[in-house]
């Protein structure tokens, strides 16, 4: 049994609660919001006994063992640091932090306090994704030479929303572009060369981008993300002896196809209930039970390398948030 506290009451927090239903050993005992009314409403809806009109209330609660940071991007570092200093373990929704400086601070705090911390890269926790990863690394499709992944959707434009507001660290990269990037890192590692183009929207944040990675062995990854258009939302892993295809939604997959050179196919089907966040919750529980201080699926060094790369991309695109100075 792990006793959770949640910071934030938005969409992702609601999805977390719905997923926790499938994990009996996950006991959510507290929720914190900037508004007492919002905390009360959220707590009533999901049966959470303790409801605080501040994030500090959750962090000061002695019953809370681990905190899920589900606040807007710009608050992730601040909330994660406060939770660690309060002696709590932390699962921080992606992106881990807005920039590498913040990520370094959070990682240092986790090591100083001897607490578990993980970026919520839930894609890696899905059974079919783990199966494909195992088979690719085992050489089942030969040498992996090409990876392609996209994530583009078309939300209503609201300059004050978390997606488009610079003050809230908006933009396609931190919200959805991180998914294709993290996929490429998991299967191919850190790239040797990065080339990119991006379009900025009315508020100055990135709304459409294409990124190409090239690796020392010659492999290439082409990645794209958007808040302007809907894209196919598929992923392909192409090797010298076959290809794995994840249909939409590849970042929370229930299936994949192995396509062999002769055209024959194998269908990998791993259906699940709900939205799938339960796999991440279970993974965190396993890490805690084993006394780990970081996740082997999403190591802190990899989180740091990814955020450093995203810093570089934003610098090239001229996307800088007001609070970054």
Residue count of the chain, please give it.
Answer: 325
Give how far Cα 259 sits from Cα of 31, 140, 265, 296, Å: 45, 11, 5, 29
Task: For residue 125, give the DSSP letter.
Answer: G
What is the per-residue pLDDT for 30? 99
What is the per-residue pLDDT for 148? 99
What is the spatial distance between Cα 286 and Cα 303, in angstroms, rounded to a whole number? 20
Q: Are 128 and 224 in contact (CB under 8 A)?
A: no
What is the spatial distance between Cα 274 and Cα 303, in angstroms, rounded to a whole number? 27
Q: Are 124 and 296 in contact (CB under 8 A)?
A: no
Give how far Cα 248 sits from Cα of 224, 234, 256, Å: 14, 5, 10
The CATH number that domain 127-271 falls under is 3.30.360.10
CATH class of the domain defined by 2-121: alpha beta
Backbone angles phi, psi at 310, to 5 degrees: -65, -35
What is the per-residue pLDDT for 325? 79
260: its two tokens? 């062999």
What is the spatial distance between Cα 152 and Cα 172, in angstroms, rounded to a whole number? 8
What is the spatial distance between Cα 252 and Cα 158, in angstroms, rounded to a whole number? 26
What is the per-residue pLDDT for 18? 97
Going by DSSP bridges, is the β-strand pair 2-7/26-32 parallel, antiparallel, or unpaired?
A: parallel
Give me the helix-helix angle, 300-317 and 178-188, nearest 10°: 130
User: Is there a common fold for 2-121 and 127-271?
Assistant: no
3-state DSSP assignment of residue 165: coil
* Residue boundaries of the structural domains of the chain: 2-121, 127-271
Give me the helix-helix angle, 76-85 and 100-113, nearest 10°: 10
Statement: the pTM of the whole predicted model exceeds 0.75: yes
Q: Report the Cα–Cα distance between both ends of the chain, in Å, rounded.
A: 42
Give how far Cα 73 sits from Cα of 12, 166, 202, 314, Å: 12, 10, 20, 15
CA-wise closest residue to 30 among 10, 5, 9: 5
Full pLDDT tens readout for the chain, 325 residues: 899 999 999 999 999 999 999 999 999 999 999 999 999 999 999 999 999 999 999 999 999 999 999 999 999 999 999 999 999 999 999 999 999 999 999 999 999 999 999 999 999 999 999 999 999 999 999 999 999 999 999 999 999 999 999 999 999 999 999 999 999 999 999 999 999 999 999 999 999 999 999 999 999 999 999 999 999 999 999 999 999 999 999 999 999 999 999 999 999 999 999 999 999 999 999 999 999 999 999 999 999 999 999 999 999 999 999 999 7
């Amino acid at each position: 049994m792990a006793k959770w506290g949640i910071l934030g009451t938005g969409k992702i927090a609601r999805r977390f609660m719905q997923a926790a239903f499938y994990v009996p050993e996950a006991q959510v005992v507290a929720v914190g919001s900037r508004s007492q009314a919002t905390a009360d409403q959220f707590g009533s809806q999901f049966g959470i006994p303790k409801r605080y009109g501040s994030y500090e209330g959750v962090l000061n609660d002695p019953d809370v063992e681990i905190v899920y940071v589900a606040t807007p991007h710009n608050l992730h570092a601040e909330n994660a640091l406060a939770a660690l200093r309060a002696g709590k373990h932390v699962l921080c929704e992606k992106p881990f932090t807005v920039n590498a400086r913040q990520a370094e601070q959070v990682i240092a705090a986790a090591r100083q306090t001897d607490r578990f911390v993980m970026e919520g890269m839930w894609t890696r926790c899905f059974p079919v994704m783990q199966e494909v990863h195992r088979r690719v690394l085992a050489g089942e499709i030969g040498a992996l030479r090409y990876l392609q992944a996209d994530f583009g959707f078309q939300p209503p434009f609201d300059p004050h929303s978390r997606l488009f507001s610079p003050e809230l660290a908006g933009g396609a990269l931190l919200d959805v572009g991180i998914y294709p990037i993290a996929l490429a890192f998991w299967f191919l590692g850190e790239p040797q060369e990065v080339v990119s183009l991006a379009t900025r929207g009315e508020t100055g944040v990135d709304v459409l981008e294409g990124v190409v990675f090239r690796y020392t062995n010659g492999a290439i990854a082409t990645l794209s993300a958007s808040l302007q258009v809907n894209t196919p939302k598929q992923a392909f892993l192409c090797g010298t002896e076959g290809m794995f295809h994840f249909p939409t939604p590849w970042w929370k997959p229930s299936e994949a196809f192995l396509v062999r050179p002769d055209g024959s196919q194998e269908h990998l089907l791993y259906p699940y209930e709900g939205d799938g966040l339960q796999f991440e919750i279970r993974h965190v529980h396993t890490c805690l039970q084993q006394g780990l201080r970081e996740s082997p699926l999403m190591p802190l060094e990899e989180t740091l390398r990814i955020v450093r790369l995203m810093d570089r991309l934003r610098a090239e695109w001229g996307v800088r948030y007001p609070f970054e100075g």
